[in-house]
Amino acid sequence: MFWEPDKETISREELEQLQLERLESTLNRVYMNVPFYRRRFDELGINIEDMQSLDDIRRLPFTTKNDLRDHYPYGMFAVPLREVVRIHASSGTTGMSTVVGYTKNDLKTWSNLVARVLTAGGITKDDVIQIAFGYGLFTGGFGIHYGAEKVGASVIPISSGNTARQIKIMQDFKTTALICTPSYALMIADTIMEMGININSLYLKYGLFGAEPWSEAMRNEIQDKLKIVATDNYGLSEVMGPGVAGECLERNGLHINEDHFLVEVINPETLEPVAPGETGELVITTLTKEAFPVIRFRTRDLTRLIPSSCACGRKFMRMNRVMGRTDDMLIIKGVNVFPSQIEHVLFEIEGTEPHYEIIVDRKGALDDVTVKVEVSESIFFDEMKKQNELMETIKRRLASELGIGVNVKLVEKKSIERSEGKAKRVIDLRKI
């Protein structure tokens, strides 16, 4: 099922022509209306009239989160506030938040792109969708909401939190699709089990999850527990919110809405493009945004492009699931480690629960890492010998996956805080 079949199956040649035209008009827009970009382009002697091909984009400077923060709140807007009809902001966990705006047209585009992602994930007008993303400055709730209404589904704007109520609504309103973060989906699934509700008595068919990294093992766990088909979708507020990319039912990479976003993958150190299909940092240029266009925005998200074609028939390039952010990467004894790699190992070991926390501390000059993992009740109260065996197994598997040794601590079920939004997996004591 496609939302816009003609657009989603456009040929590469036509797409590139469209991207180039849209890039030119975006560059004109930012040059005319955003002093930051005009100054930058002038300093570098860039004449935007000279853009002959999509590759010429490499001559343009990158835009970083810091550039956006420096222009808090409205300095990067390309239209007067009078034309802005919606304002959102990123959570700003790592400093000042970034404020983003949308014109009426931007909202139309946004809901349309979210409708594509939802349709690719199996949603139709016959679905009853429970949106358990936070509604507010976060783009998740409202972003998905208008796309779901556009598809014509019945939308339950429940927002996140109050898990027992989520489940009651799910039962009473006959919810067929759940939309939230993967960690919240897992918490809902566990609560359903604890309440003794038979999952087959629910009506759930699909789950569309995003806004944080999750592993294939976690997908399997959620699919099994909720008896649904779960797809991954990606976006970020600086670029739009949800709707940038989403998986189809093949569940093998996320189709990027390339007619609206031009993507590059770069080596975050050299800033040069990586070889096709290699992992690097995703860089995005918006092609149609009016209020808040971004040029070569460094997302900090690590992924790789999948150049082969997809069985679903969509022609848009896929990206692999985002493995993590460059700023979440831990460097342990000189080795780069992502929380998602640790998650992958933990999910595969019998006796562990899918809840974990990674605590990073510094001992002398070295980073010291402890993985806290919940274990099932029977093991926790079991004899020491069994506990030790499990701990050794986890240590061994982590060492072989990561290439370095970490400490492991088994903790009782439910002792790690649950998340109703984006899970916080890493506790960094080094900064305190």
- The binding site for ligand DLL (CB under 6 A) comprises 90-91, 133, 138-140, 210-213, 232-237, 241-242, 299, 301, 322, 325
Least gap, CB of 296 to ligand DLL (angstroms): 15
Dist. CA 88–CA 101, nearest whole Å:
6
Residue with smaller CB distance to ligand DLL, 213 or 351: 213
Nearer to ligand DLL, 129 or 410 (CB): 129
**Tokens 């990467």, located at residue:** 329
Rounded to a whole number of angstroms, the minimum distance from the CB of residue 328 to ligand DLL is: 8
- The position carrying tokens 């990123």 is 90
* Ramachandran angles phi, psi of 271, nearest 5°: 65, 10
Nearer to ligand DLL, 316 or 380 (CB): 316
Q: Find the shortest distance in angstroms from Cβ 432 to ligand DLL.
A: 23
Could you tell me which of 65, 60, 54, 24 has the C-alpha nearest to residue 42?
60
Nearer to ligand DLL, 234 or 380 (CB): 234
C-beta of 212: minimal distance to ligand DLL in Å?
5
Q: Which of 252, 259, 156 is nearest to 204 (CA)?
A: 156
Nearer to ligand DLL, 103 or 237 (CB): 237
The minimum distance between CB 150 and ligand DLL, in angstroms, equals 16
**CB-nearer residue toward ligand DLL: 155 or 322:** 322
Phi (first) and psi of residue 358, to 5 degrees: -115, 120
d(CA 409, CA 358): 10
CB of 431 to ligand DLL, least distance (A): 19
Q: Please state, in angstroms and as integers, the Cα–Cα distance from residue 42 to each residue in 18, 23, 37, following that order.
A: 26, 18, 8
Task: Identify which of residues 112 and 410 has a Cβ nearer to ligand DLL in the complex.
Answer: 112
> Which residue is at the shortest CB distance from ligand DLL?
210
Smallest separation (angstroms) from ligand DLL to the CB of 388? 35
Residue 201 Cβ, how far from ligand DLL at the closest point, in Å? 28
* Shortest Å distance, C-beta 94 to ligand DLL: 11
Q: Which is nearer to ligand DLL, 219 or 314 (CB)?
A: 219
> Is the CB of 286 or the CB of 375 nearer to ligand DLL?
286
Q: Angle CA(173)–CA(177)–CA(183) in degrees, nearest 5?
A: 110
